[in-house]
Amino acid sequence: MENYFSLTQIKHNKMAIHLSAVGTWVLRLLAAVIMLQTLFFKFTASQESVYIFETLGMEPYGRIGTGVLELIAAVLILYPRTTALGAAIAIGLMGGALFFHVTKLGIVVMDDGGQLFIYALLVMISSIALVAIYRKQLYSLIKLNPKYQL
């Protein structure tokens, strides 16, 4: 009887590990794919992107610079050793995007139904979750690893 419970527990632990790995990849892909998808519009100077950055007084350098930073963040998120760093960069970028949506642009930009705002919110939420999950990467990066407490 004792062996049955330990085997059952092992099966549940393996399933939990598998689900957490799948979950983290879903979060990574959600954030990275949204940021990579919007690069096309930023780098090709689509009408909506130009309008947004002109409204903010940051056209073209803000549009291109933001695109480059989003590309870097997406690549870092997808590479397992740098997921936390990429997610932290994405949090900063999406914080700016959400701030400007709320203060200057509005939730709906050029009749998009709030799609860009929702994308920024999804990237922000998934990036916050990734930073929480991979926080030890950041601790070791900035030398705050619990092993080295003062």
Contact 65, 93 (CB under 8 A): no
Q: pLDDT tens for residues 26-73?
A: 999 999 999 999 999 999 999 999 999 999 999 999 999 999 999 999
Q: What is the DSSP letter of 111?
A: T
Is the predicted pLDDT of residue 146 greater than 90, yes or no?
A: no
Q: pLDDT tens for residues 107-145?
A: 999 999 999 999 999 999 999 999 999 998 888 877 655
Name 26's Cβ contacts closer than 8 Å, sequence gap at least 6: none
Contact 124, 28 (CB under 8 A): no
Token look-up 């990066």 returns 141
Tokens representing 121 are 């919110």
* Cα(114)–Cα(38) distance, integer angstroms: 14
pLDDT at res. 18: 59
pLDDT at res. 108: 95
The length of the chain, given as a count of residues: 150
* Cα(142)–Cα(55) distance, integer angstroms: 36
pLDDT at res. 15: 57
User: C-alpha angle with apex 72: 136 to 21, nearest 5 degrees?
Assistant: 45
Going from N- to C-terminal start, the domains of the chain cover 2-148
* Cα(102)–Cα(100) distance, integer angstroms: 5
pLDDT at res. 150: 46
Q: How far is CA 145 from CA 12, 36, 76, 131, 137, in A?
A: 30, 31, 20, 15, 9
